[in-house]
């Protein structure tokens, strides 16, 4: 977790505020999952009691899930999905699976942009002045987004059919040069973390 955090704020150049906005939701799930290990249901001492070795287990789970979440964010902040997904076919992933992931990825941003515009239009029409108006606006936002999603999917299907779609999306993938220095540094970092893990397990065990 500390290594991923240093890489995010250092070489990756991710602003702390943007990192916090992306990390606070996964962190909430991590904390919620860890809290459940602090208590146990049933037993001679009562219906709800503190679990034996609960804090240690909760702390371990929180650290592991936080490290995993930061690792995923490091990957997301530094690797463009539009460049990664087409290359997965060469790695052995079936082409239809990659096509579905690529279309879903692109459609998600289109729908998010549409939802932002709808929400701005609702706010300009005083759709968030009261709680009742907010709920009506939220219902309208969901219904409109649902209809637009199907409309975009239908137009996408029609466009692909008109271009002779045969089950594979053919896109131009630019050539990527492999940096031996970067790969070497990455392998060395992973080896150092692995060695440090074994050393700490022996010391703490």
Residue 110 predicted with pLDDT over 90:
no
How far from 205 is each of 13, 54, 55, 199, CA to CA, in Å?
Answer: 37, 18, 17, 10
- For residues 46-83, one letter each, b for 16 or more C-beta atoms within 10 angstroms of the residue's C-beta and e for the rest, the string is eeeeebeebeeebeebbeebbbebbeebbeeeeeeeee
Residue 153 has pLDDT above 90, yes or no: no
- The mean pLDDT value for 31-46 works out to 82
Rounded mean pLDDT of 98-119?
84
Q: Say if CB 77 and CB 14 are below 8 A apart.
A: yes
Q: Return d(Cα 103, Cα 109) in angstroms, integer.
A: 10
How far apart CA 4 and CA 12 sit, in angstroms, is: 10
Q: Are 69 and 27 in contact (CB under 8 A)?
A: yes
pLDDT at 41 over 70: yes
Length of the chain equals 205
Residues above pLDDT 90, as percent of the chain: 27
pLDDT of residue 71: 92
Using CA atoms, how far residue 110 sits from 11, 149, 159, in Å, is 30, 9, 16
Instruction: Supply the pLDDT for residue 167.
Output: 66
Residue 81 pLDDT: 80
| pLDDT value at 129 more than 90 | no
| pTM of the shown model | 0.68
Flag whether pLDDT at 165 surpasses 80: no
Cβ neighbours for 167, distance < 8 A, ≥ 6 positions apart: 95, 96, 99
Q: For the chain, give percent helix, strand, coil, nearest 5.
A: 75, 5, 25
Q: Which of these, 22, 127, 137, lies nearest to 76 by C-alpha position? A: 22
pLDDT exceeds cutoff 70 at 183: yes
């Amino acid at each position: 977790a500390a290594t991923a955090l240093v890489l995010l704020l250092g070489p990756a150049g991710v602003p702390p505020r943007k990192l916090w906005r992306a990390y606070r939701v996964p962190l909430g799930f991590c904390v919620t999952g860890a809290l459940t290990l602090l208590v146990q249901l049933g037993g001679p001492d009562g219906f709800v009691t503190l679990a034996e070795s609960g804090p240690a287990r909760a702390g371990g789970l929180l650290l592991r899930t936080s490290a995993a979440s930061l690792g995923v964010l490091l990957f997301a902040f530094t690797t463009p999905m539009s460049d990664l997904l087409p290359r997965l076919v060469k790695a052995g992933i079936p082409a239809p699976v990659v096509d579905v992931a690529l279309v879903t990825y692109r459609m998600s941003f289109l729908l998010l942009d549409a939802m932002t515009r709808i929400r701005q239009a609702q706010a300009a029409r005083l759709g968030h002045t009261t709680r009742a108006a907010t709920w009506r606006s939220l219902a309208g936002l969901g219904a409109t987004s649902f209809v637009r999603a199907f409309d975009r999917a239908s137009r996408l299907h029609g466009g692909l059919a008109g271009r002779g779609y045969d089950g594979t999306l053919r896109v131009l993938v630019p050539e990527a040069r492999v940096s031996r220095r970067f790969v070497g540094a990455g392998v060395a970092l992973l080896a150092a973390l692995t060695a440090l893990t074994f050393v700490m397990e022996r010391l703490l065990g």
